[in-house]
Amino acid sequence: MLQIRRDLVDSIVAHARKDHPDEACGVIAGPEGTDRPERFIPMLNAARSSTFYEFDSLDLLKLYREMDARDEVPVVIYHSHTATEAYPSRTDIKLAQEPDAHYVLVSTRNPETAEFRSYRIVDGVVTEEDVEIVESYMFANTGSDDKPDS
């Protein structure tokens, strides 16, 4: 399951809307070992395309250096689909290379409502997961002592 703050969901959707009809992409970094997305980092789509996205290679290096220095990992990797559903394409699956990340897909095909879905993509296998949107992580059930999700 992906647990994510509402303001971060809003930031992702706003980025996707802003870049439409191009695909938008970015990362939400979080402290290593927490699985908690915290720092919203919109990235430039170097492909500037409505059907493809790719982080610029030097931006990618800068991003990973910065995350390393802050003991962060890419908890969420997001991108938008502009004309199709928020489900990973064959290309998305083939190129997914962060087995610990939540891959978030947003579809901007409908101007009124955005689809927001999350997946794990490991060794070419896609598993959709529930998304729990919370106002704050402080009061959310994150500890191991909490009751299991029903």
Partner 1 sequence: MAVTVSIPTILRTHTGGEKSVEATGKTVSEIIDDVESRHSGLKARLVKEDKLHRFVNVYVNDEDVRFAGGLDAEVADGDTVTILPAVAGGMR
Q: Least separation, in Å, of the C-beta of 148 and partner 1?
A: 27
Q: Which two tokens stand for residue 34?
A: 């927490």
Cβ count within 10 A of residue 119: 22
Under the binding rule (CB under 8 A), the answer on residue 118 touching partner 1 is no
* Residues 69-98 interacting with partner 1 (rule: CB under 8 A): 73, 77, 79, 81-84, 88-92, 95-98
Q: Least separation, in Å, of the C-beta of 137 and partner 1?
A: 23
Q: Which of 148, 100, 101, 99 is nearest to 122 (CA)?
A: 99
Q: Least separation, in Å, of the C-beta of 62 and partner 1?
A: 9
Under the binding rule (CB under 8 A), the answer on residue 60 touching partner 1 is yes
Cβ count within 10 A of residue 138: 7
**Distance, CA of 45 to CA of 19 (rounded, Å):** 9
Q: Cβ(35)–Cβ(98) under 8 Å?
A: no
- Which CB, 69 or 138, lies closer to partner 1? 69
- Which CB, 120 or 140, lies closer to partner 1? 120
